[in-house]
Amino acid sequence: MEEKFCGVWGQMREEFLKMHKPELYNSLIEKGELENYLKGYQTAYSSRAEKMARELSAERGINDELYQEDSLEWILELEKIQEEVKAKLAEEICK
């Protein structure tokens, strides 16, 4: 069976299903629905991640002005936000 790339969020959900919900995972495979199921997670959570990152950046003043003043700080702050978003969404995906 050829493996399809379904993005970070889809892969995260797939790993969760394999480990904690094997009946559902196998059922999705048998029905030929796994790829679409995972793509749905990827689409939904990509949008949520972008929105959360934008909101957190705005709340914390991570903007073009900061970039002009201290680009290294801007990069570090964006990386922190990305990790925070990933952790929050991973909790939801792995339920």
| Residue pLDDT, tens place only, 37-95 | 999 999 999 999 999 999 999 999 999 999 999 999 999 999 999 999 999 999 999 88
Long-range CB contacts (< 8 A, 24+ apart) of 20-29? 20/94
φ and ψ at residue 33, rounded to 5 degrees: -110, -5
Whether 3 has a pLDDT exceeding 60, the answer reads no
* pTM for this predicted structure: 0.81
Q: What angle do CA 77, 83, 86 make, to 5 degrees?
A: 140
